[in-house]
Amino acid sequence: EAQVTQNPRYLITVTGKKLTVTCSQNMNHEYMSWYRQDPGLGLRQIYYSMNVEVTDKGDVPEGYKVSRKEKRNFPLILESPSPNQTSLYFCASSLVAAFRTDTQYFGPGTRLTVL
């Protein structure tokens, strides 16, 4: 089954404790992206990756890191989480062909609470 998976689905942590949220897709998509969703603000892009070893900042990258060592995986790293990073996080992926993109498919989401 074609899908985007994220782990964990729920996480409660404390300020300053490093954490990683994993994202994996089995559709051989080149493009992957991380969004955060906050009430009244919609979906805002954190980081994206056009392909392996190619990553770039989105609109709200502060406090986050990513890596893209393999095509299928795109982990989101919070080196020193703070309470303002409490949010619902979504990973998404899509194909890239001839500078056109296909539909973005979203993962199930990770609800993060930083105390």
Partner 1 sequence: GENVEQHPSTLSVQEGDSAVIKCTYSDSASNYFPWYKQELGKRPQLIIDIRSNVGEKKDQRIAVTLNKTAKHFSLHITETQPEDSAVYFCAARGLGGATNKLIFGTGTLLAVQP
Residues found near partner 1 in the complex (CB under 8 A): 31, 33, 35, 40-45, 48, 50, 56, 58, 90, 94, 96, 99-101, 103-109
Cβ distance to partner 1 smaller for residue 14 or 41: 41
State in angstroms the smallest separation of the CB of 15 from partner 1: 26
Cβ distance to partner 1 smaller for residue 13 or 94: 94
Q: Please name the residues in contact with 76: beta carbons below 8 A apart, sequence gap of 6 or more.
A: 20, 21, 23, 34, 46, 47, 64, 65, 66, 89, 91
CA-derived radius of gyration, the chain: 13
State in angstroms the smallest separation of the CB of 80 from partner 1: 27
Cβ distance to partner 1 smaller for residue 2 or 14: 2
Task: Tell me the β-bridge partners of 90.
Answer: 35
Cβ distance to partner 1 smaller for residue 12 or 96: 96
Give the other-Cβ count within 10 Å of 17's Cβ. 12
State in angstroms the smallest separation of the CB of 26 from partner 1: 16
Q: Are 92 and 105 in contact (CB under 8 A)?
A: yes
Cα separation, 67 vs 56, in Å, equals 10
State in angstroms the smallest separation of the CB of 46 from partner 1: 12
